Structure formats: C-alpha cells, structure tokens
Structure 1
Amino acid sequence: MNKWTLKFENQALENQFQAKQQDYHKTFILKVISISSIVLHIGKLIQDSTQNNPIRIELQTPGLIISIIALVVIFRYPQYSSTMMILLNYSFSLVQFWVDSTYGQQRSFLLGSNVMASQMLLMMSLDFYQIVPQIVIQLILKLIIMSQYYQEHLSMVTVWFSVLISVISIVSYYLIGQAKRQQFLLTVKEDIYSQFLTKFISVPFILFEYQQEQFQPIILSKQNKIKKWNPNLCDGCNLRSLIRYITFENQTLENYLLEKYGKIKGSFQSGNTIEEFSFAFRCYSQIDVIITITDKINFLVKFTGTSQTLQEKVAIDKINHFYRLIREVFKCIKKPQKYKSLLFDISIQFISGFYLYGNKEVHYYPVEILKNVIRFIGANNILLNAESSTGGFSLIGSKNQFSVFFLQICRILIIINNEHDFIVIRVNISQEGSLVFEFSLKWENLQKFQHLYKINQFLHSLELVLFEKSIDFQQNCQLKMKRMQLMNQGM
C-alpha cells in the first residue's frame, strides 16, 4: 500500500477493492444526495421567482445539471459514480453565492451546515487520493469567493483556521481511508487462509460458527474422511448430528458449546480472543476444539485418529519380518513349488492367529483393508474392482477379524487357481445399503473353493460375525456385510 495515496501496489488487488467499493451504500449515498441537490436547486429557483428575488440562472443551472446527470449515471453507468461524486461535490461550492445580506444569518448557517454534511458524506465514499484535491480546491474557492466576489476583508485568523480545519480533515480522511483498506486487506487474507486451511491441516477438521440459533459450517476438510458424516445429508445437518453424537464432560459437545456461548462472549469483552480444549472420544485419540473470537465466534474442531500403540507396531513389524523370511525361504529352496503351498499356509495361519489374538474394535474402512490384504500376500492374479462410493463406507468393529477373513479367502483363491487365472473381487453397495463382496469362479474351481471354505475354521467362526448370512455360492460367491454396523462416511 502506497503511504501517500493509500493505493495498493498490486493492481489486481486495487481493482478488487474498487469493485467492492461499488456497493449498495455508495450507490445509496449518491442517489440520496443527487435527489436532495435537485430538490435544493429547484426549490431555490421557485423561491426566488415567488419572492421577486433576482433569479441567478448561472448559479443554479450547473449544480442542477450535474445532479441530474449524476442520478442518470448511478442507474446506467455505476462504474463512473466516483467521478460524478467529485463533480457533485464541486458544484456545492457554488451554493456560497446564494448567501447575501438578504439571506438571513440563521438560514445561512443552516444552509452551510447541510452543504458541509453533504460534502463529507460524498468524500467519505471516495478514496483518499480523490479527496485531497477536493479539500484544497474548495478551500481556495471559498476564500476567493469571500474576498473577491463579496469583497469582505479576510483576517489572518479566518485564513489560518480554514487551513487548519482543511489539514485536520485531510489527516482524518487519511486515517479513515487507511482503516478501510486495512480492513479490506484483512478480509482478503482471511479468505485466502480459509481457502488453504484444508491444505495446511492434514487431519480431518470442521470450521463452523453459531448463527440463527444453530451451528452452521464454514469450511470442511473435504480431502479427509470424517466419521459419522453422511454425504446424503446437507453439511449443516451432518455437523449438528456429529456434535450431538460426540460427548464431553457427560453431555453432548453441542450442549457444552451452547452453555459456554454466553461465557465466551463475556470473555471477549475481557479481551480474550481465543479459547481451546482437548479430549479423547471413542475412535479418536484426541479432539481439539479451538474457539476464535473476533466480530463473530468461530469454532474449529480437529480430529486426530487413534494411533497404533508401541506394542501394536512391534507386533506388525514382527509379522512383516516373518513373512519376508518366508519369502526368502522360497528363494533358497531348490524346488520351491514342492514346499510353496506348505510354507504359504504356515505363514497365513500364523498371521491369522496373531491378528485374532490382538483383536479389538476400531473404526476402519473395509475396502482399504481388502486392498492392503491383497497387496500384502502378493497375489498378482487377484484384482479388486470397487465402486468409487464404497471407499467412504466404514465400520466400527474388528479390523483384525475382517483382515483374517479375507486373508483366508485369498489363501484359498491362490491355492485353487493357477497364476494365469485372474479373479476379480467386485465391491458395490446394495439397494438396502449393504456393502457387497462377490467374485466368480470356474465350475471346477468353485467345487474346490466350497470344500476348502467349509473346512476352514477361521472362515467358519468369522463369517456370521462380519456378514448378514453365510456366503452364497450360487450368486457369484456373494457376501453382504451387516448393515447395523455400516456407516456411510466421507466427504
């Protein structure tokens, strides 16, 4: 920002500011003053004609014409409103000629006050670099008209006082213009920060405010999945449902925030501009609530998911290390095909038992887990074809049980199919809202799959825990996950 003219050095930003200046308030002020000026000039003409006063057409016409043009411009060409404001302001200088010995002292005082107020309103709607020339020129015009036209003696007190008032006016308008532009700049920065907030915060979060007697969302971390978020509902409905679901200090988060709302406003009066607190809730290791207080109260809720404990990380590292050892053994054996099935079974059974030993309920996404299972066992001939909408579905349940189930499924598929036979596991959402897994097999392989499936103790014990019913071998080996636990998530 230029310290003398207050214009932004960035021309794009300056254009944006000027566009914002063409708002309702500026238009309203110019309309009102233009209409008032027309009424003033016409009233003066009527008054002079009815009271047999000399009619000074040369004094009335310029101001009347400019006022009419300004009124037309504001409706047809609002981009030129600033220019018309300047011309209209200069036209008010001619009103000084109306005052003579017959005009009356009180009328002169009232007329001067009204004209000065109109000029102040016009200049407050303009930029500083447009205001300064007007103040200087009008000061000179007033002094010239007073000394030359009316031939009144100008005392030094009058001159210095007029100059002093003009200087004070310039300083005042400078501070007002600076404050307006700084406020605009702050708004632009806030908008930019809001746009990039989702990139700066890697975990799921929601920024919202309280207005119209309910919480309303401002920004959502759409690149992250927020649990208990239903894409079929509006953002406001989801937000209110979520903060009613989350509990803190034996009450819902919504009630807690509402109870604190009055205290928060009180703390703002004490000078505090931010409050924050954190707590853990179910599958979140930490929920951070940050309350910022400016001209309004904003709430930022940030969700941090449950991280793995040190013991879990060590266990997973051991499993991965064990599986790498198995693969290295394959490479060292002279006839790997002879022992491959046996070693593969040993590794899968070991991993399955280990996973079930560390079983606990967590929040997980089935499709993502299935992708990881296929990648983990290195089955290049098992492909996953999942609808895009399935990626946002999640469960509160045993992720390990689900992983073990599909480890065993993939183990059987690898055993009964050769490396050149591709199996596609399709994942979609049924009309009832269930997550459905299905795959097709050749007839001879289907018989083998049924046999190995039925004698597998892992599959037998986990099937009815995870799914609505037993696998349907007649319909592409179909499995439907239980709807009661399924939640449509994501953003």
Structure 2
Amino acid sequence: MNNFTLKFNNPELELQYQEEKIQKIRKRVFYLFMALGLILNISKVILDIVEFKPFTQYINYILVGLISILVPISIKWPLNIRYTLMVANISTALLQMNFTETTKAQMYYNYGSNFTQFQTCAYFVSDFLDSVVQVICHTIIKSSITIYQTKSVDPQDILMNVGAAIIISIVIYICDSHSRKEFLQNICENIWDQQLPEIIKKPYFQVTYNKNLLQFNVLSWNEIEQFPSYCDQICQGCNVRNFLRLYKCDDKELGQQLQQLIAGTIKIHNGKQKFKIRIINIGVDYTNKIIILDNSLSQHSDLSLMMSIKKTMNFYIKQSSCKSQQVFFNWGMMSLLLINDFTIQEIQLYKLIKKLNAIYQKQKQFDFFVKGDENIVFKGYINLIRIYLIQVYQILTQIYEYQEKKKKRHIENKSIPIFISIYKETDTICIQLPPTINYFLFICKYTKNIFITQIEQTILSTPLSNDLKINFNTCVPFKKI
C-alpha cells in the first residue's frame, strides 16, 4: 500500500477494495445523496415558480441537470460512483450563492451547517485522494464566493478555511488508512481459513463462543466426520456442540473447559472412549479456538503394526510365489493388505490386462483375448485397480466355468474364449466385458464381492451398468493419506 496515496500496489487488490466499498456503503450514500438533492432542488424550483421568480435561483436548475446526468452514469458504470459522488459533492459548494443579503443570519448559518454535514459524509465515503480534491475545491469555491460577494478579504477567514481543510484531510487519511488495513485483515483471515487444512492436515474444527446465545459457533472445519460421535443427519455446528457436550476432561464438559483459557494437548473421554485433542487459542482475546483430533499414539501404533504385517506377508509371498497354484492365494493376501493403499501411479492398462490374461491362461481352460489402444495411459490408484481387476477376472472365470458345465462341455479338453476390449471415451478409460456372459449371474457375484464394494466408488466414474462397461475415473485429485 502506498503511504501517500493509500492505494494498493496490486491492481487486482485495489479493484477488489473499490468493489467492496461500493457495495457496502458508497452506492447507498450516493443514491441517498442524489435522491435528497433532487427533492430539495426541485422543491426550491417549484417554490420559485410559484413566487413568479423562475430564473432568480439558477443554481438549483444547474444541480437538477447535473443529477440527471450523474445518476444514469452511475447505474451503467458502478465503478465510476467514486467520481460521480466527487462531482456531486463539489457542486454543492455552489449553493452558497443561493442566499442574498436579505437572508437572516441564523437561517444562513443553519443552512451552512447542514451543507457541511452532507459534504463531510461524502468525504468519508470517498477515497483519500478523492476526498482531498473535494476539500480543496470546497475551500477555494467558498473563499472565492465570500470574497466576491463581500468585496473584501478577511485573513482570519482564509486562515480558518485552510486550517480546517488540513485538519479534515489528516482525519480522512487516518480513517481511510484504517479502512484499507481492515480490508487487508479480512483478506488475510479468509486466506488463513482456506490454508488451515493444508497447515494442520488433521481433523479439526474452529469455534468461537457466543456469550449472548451461550453456545459455540463453528467457523471452519476439516474432516469433521473423523471426530467421534459424528452424525451425518445433523448440521456441522450441531455435531461440534454434541462433541463438546458429550466428551469430558477432568469430569467437566469439554465445552465448559473451552470457555477457560486452556491450550495444549489434553485427554478427553466419553465412557470407555478416550482421545487426545490439541487446543490452540487464536485472536486478540483468545475467543476463537482450534480443536485438533490428535490421537497420535494410537495412529503410530496402528501404522507400526500394519508395516510389520506387510513386511511378514511380503517375505512369505516371495518365498512361495514359485508354486503354480500359489499365485491366486498370494493375490488374495495382497488384496487384504493393499485394500486401503491409495498410491497414485501411471497405469498402462493394456499391459496390465495382458499380464492378467497370461496368468489366467496358464490354467489351460481359458483363452483370454484383448483388443484396443495399446497406448492408453492414465494416473490412478494402481493397487486398488489391480485388486478390482483380479476380482473381475475371478468372477468371469467362475461364470464361464458354470456356463460350460451347464452346456455339458468338457472344459478340460476345450479352451473357453474370453474377449475383453479397452478404449478411451471422453474423460474415462473403459473396459468392455464379454457380452456373452450371463449378466444376472455376473452382477449377483459382483455386488456381493467385498473388495469390489469397498473400492468401486473410488476408482470408477460411474457404477457398472447393464452393458457390462467398466468406466475408470481418470481425474484423481490427490493422494489419500
């Protein structure tokens, strides 16, 4: 922000400030200013016409014409309200010529005080530089009209005009500076709220205590569904208030504890359920609090246990993979271990299908054929897709075996052909399963498969339909942790 002009160095930020100032106060003040000015000037014109002196008070005619020009400009170009308001306010200085020597002194003073109040309102609604221009113009016009009508120069009057202009300019500078700093603070708070999930990277919620309503209001949250006792049938605020009411710390409700100035990691419990949360106090008076679900010890323990199991299973699989029938057992074990593995990797679907075909064709009763674009590549959850395809292949082989037995064919002597095609369709990668398969039997086994039901929504863009077309989702936003 420029220390002299008070303008933001960033043009986009300056434009955003101007738009907010227009919407919050400047537009309202301008139109009230114009409406009141139009009413007063037209009423004065009507009174002059009634008194048979239609052109004696020509200032009112000028101001009515000026208002009829400024209002349409402001409606069509709202950003120009700052300039139309400045022109309208400067023009009010001409009203000093509306009075004659016959005007009573007290009435003249009263009118002058009212004009000054209107002008001051426009000063504080305008930007600093616009206000300074208005103050300078008013000072010059007032002094010039006074000198012209009195035919004399009063040094004390000129000194007072200049002194008043300097003082009000200083006050406007301070007020406009504070207004812009408040705007920047609001911008920073919004950015802070947006960046909190990236900074904390844990389930949390931010609350403030409303003393009038005697309740906590939720300001922001992240993964609030991870908190215990969460219910998706009620609002986020109700979930938070239930959590603060149900869980206790030192035999006191968590909500009561938060009303005190406590911070750091504390233990909370609800019956046999125990958790660790971290409390952070923010703000000048520490009324805003961030509560983070910090169950780090149990998470670390679970992670260590899972890593130990994976290490043992990997060792076992490597030792037993040389056996011909062991590969399917190994796949089942790996599926159990990798069902929650969200590793993102580049997937060459044609090569993956061919590898599965080669493994299943070793059973001799199946002949797998794949056709389609060999260059289809996309990023996805590689381990979840492998698990999914393994389950689909298992279902295919089971159903084809059943169909061949029903036809009383000897599957030991004759291979069963299974045709699969892959292709790209808009934003999805598709696998077309064989249309000759028994659809109802396939769907029955498909929907009951525990692996498929758990990962289908994650890797597919749409559920499997009647045409047996699998649509993989290629828009993977992030790596889940």
TM-score of the aligned structures, taking structure 2 as reference length: 0.62
DSSP-derived class of the 1:140 partner: helix
Residue matched to 1:195: 194
Asked if 1:118 is matched to 2:118, the reply is yes
Work out which of the residue numbers 261, 276, 281 in structure 2 matches 1:286.
276
Residues 116-142 of structure 1: CA deviation (Å, up to 9, x unaligned): 111111121111121111211221111
Residues 286-330 of structure 1: CA deviation (Å, up to 9, x unaligned): 212334345994331111014159999998888778778878987
The residue type paired with residue 266 of structure 2 is F
Task: Label 1:424 to 1:201 Cα distance change in 2 as closer, same or farther (>3 A).
Answer: closer
CA distance in 2 between partners of 1:296 and 1:81 (Å): 40
CA distance in 2 between partners of 1:87 and 1:70 (Å): 9
DSSP-derived class of the 1:3 partner: coil
Residues 195-237 of structure 1: CA deviation (Å, up to 9, x unaligned): 0110000221111334583433222113983333233433223
Structure 2 spans left out of the alignment, 5+ residues: 343-359, 367-385, 400-443, 451-479
Task: Label 1:177 to 1:312 Cα distance change in 2 as closer, same or farther (>3 A).
Answer: closer
Written as runs of structure 1 = structure 2, the 5 A alignment for 1:307-318 is 307-308=297-298
Moved more, 108-117 or 131-140: 131-140
The residue type paired with residue 303 of structure 1 is L
Task: Label 1:244 to 1:425 Cα distance change in 2 as closer, same or farther (>3 A).
Answer: farther
CA distance in 2 between partners of 1:172 and 1:236 (Å): 42
The residue type paired with residue 63 of structure 2 is G
Residue matched to 2:237: 236
Question: Do the aligned partners of 1:206 and 1:301 also contact (CA within 8 Å) in 2?
Answer: yes
Residues 79-103 of structure 1: CA deviation (Å, up to 9, x unaligned): 3322221121121011111232111
Task: Label 1:315 to 1:19 Cα distance change in 2 as closer, same or farther (>3 A).
Answer: closer
DSSP-derived class of the 2:226 partner: coil
Per chain length, whose mean CA-contact separation is higher, i.e. which structure has more relative contact order (CA < 8 Å, sep 6+)? Answer: 1
DSSP-derived class of the 2:9 partner: coil
Written as runs of structure 1 = structure 2, the 5 A alignment for 1:366-405 is 379=331, 383=335
The residue type paired with residue 234 of structure 1 is C
Identity, % of aligned positions: 19
DSSP-derived class of the 2:100 partner: coil
Written as runs of structure 1 = structure 2, the 5 A alignment for 1:87-236 is 87-147=87-147, 149-210=148-209, 213=213, 214-222=215-223, 225-236=226-237
Question: Do the aligned partners of 2:48 and 2:57 also contact (CA within 8 Å) in 1?
Answer: no
CA distance in 1 between partners of 2:318 and 2:101 (Å): 113
Residue matched to 2:291: 301
CA distance in 1 between partners of 2:112 and 2:181 (Å): 33
Task: Label 1:8 to 1:24 Cα distance change in 2 as closer, same or farther (>3 A).
Answer: closer
Question: Deviation at 1:155?
Answer: 2.2
Task: Label 1:197 to 1:53 Cα distance change in 2 as closer, same or farther (>3 A).
Answer: same
Written as runs of structure 1 = structure 2, the 5 A alignment for 1:242-261 is 242-257=243-258, 260=259
Residues 34-53 of structure 1: CA deviation (Å, up to 9, x unaligned): 12212222333344455566
Task: Label 1:319 to 1:294 Cα distance change in 2 as closer, same or farther (>3 A).
Answer: closer
State the aligned residue count. Answer: 361
DSSP-derived class of the 2:335 partner: strand
CA distance in 1 between partners of 2:101 and 2:311 (Å): 107
Question: Deviation at 1:245?
Answer: 2.5
Question: Do the aligned partners of 1:384 and 1:426 also contact (CA within 8 Å) in 2?
Answer: no
The residue type paired with residue 228 of structure 2 is K
DSSP-derived class of the 1:227 partner: coil
Structure 1 spans left out of the alignment, 5+ residues: 265-273, 342-373, 392-416, 428-438, 444-474, 481-489
CA distance in 2 between partners of 1:33 and 1:311 (Å): 69
Residues 439-475 of structure 1: CA deviation (Å, up to 9, x unaligned): 99979xxxxxxxxxxxxxxxxxxxxxxxxxxxxxxx9
CA distance in 1 between partners of 2:323 and 2:54 (Å): 121
Question: Do the aligned partners of 1:135 and 1:166 also contact (CA within 8 Å) in 2?
Answer: yes
CA distance in 2 between partners of 1:220 and 1:81 (Å): 39
